[in-house]
Amino acid sequence: MSPEEAGRPAVFLDRDGVINEDSGYVWRQQDVRWIDGAPQAIAWLNRRNYQVVVATNQSGIARGLYTEHDFDVLTGWMHTALAAYGARLDAVYHCPHHPTAGLPPLDIICDCRKPKPGMILRAIADLGLDPARSLMIGDKQTDLQAASAAGVRGVLFPGGNLLDFVREALDGE
């Protein structure tokens, strides 16, 4: 089977702590501070034909701190802001649930909240991705656990410049 038949490679990124600084519940554009090199890393991945997919837990929705609409508005703003760097997110998946701190009907045990692999598996199916040629970059062990459960290699981002980290994680491409 050729690589094209097997599916496209992707880099999955957690949002808070990988793309933008994790300063608590980030849901307004004025609260977004890019991680150093994040827009450039996304553009670099785009130029190398990786699908760039965000997989992010957003328990602030379940907790009633912000709404799905607020999340969608911020995501739209991020798409526009990243475009100024020549960067594109191919898809954004989020989990609005929390099993113990959420408000009904979002206070459930779901298959999408990391460390479960639901968001990654959905993206693989929706976008025709090859998990064996893909990578998940996260800042928490739950990101890596979700990646492993989906058959995707995961690497822990310790902070610093994301572009430098991505280049190193992809073996100096």
Catalytically active residues are 14, 16
Q: How many CB atoms lie within 10 A of CB 3?
A: 11
In angstroms, the Cα distances linking 107 to 36, 99, 125 are 34, 5, 26
Q: Which two tokens stand for residue 1?
A: 């089977």
Distance CA(119)–CA(129), nearest Å, equals 13
Q: Where are the beta strands (DSSP E) in 99-167?
A: 135-138, 153-156
**Exposed, middle or buried, 5 (CB in 10 Å: 0-12/13-18/19+)?**
exposed
Distance CA(56)–CA(94), nearest Å, equals 5
